[in-house]
Chains A and B, each alone.
Chain A
Amino acid sequence: MQSLQTQETERLVSDPVPGITAEPHDDNLRYFQVTIEGPQQSPYENGIFQLELFLPDDYPMEAPKVRFLTKIYHPNIDRLGRICLDVLKNNWSPALQIRTVLLSVQALLASPNPNDPLANDVAEEWIKHEDTAIAEAKQWTELYAKPTQSEPQPE
Chain B
Amino acid sequence: MNLSRITDAIDHWTERRARGIARGSSRRGWLKAFGGALVGGAVLPLLPVARAQAASGVPAATGVPEEGDPESCGYWRYCAIDGFLCSCCGGSENACPPGTEMSPITWIGTCRNPADGKSYVISYNDCCGRTGCGQCLCNRNEGDLPMYVPPKNNDINWCLGTQTAVYHCSTAIIIAQGMD
The answer to whether A binds B is no
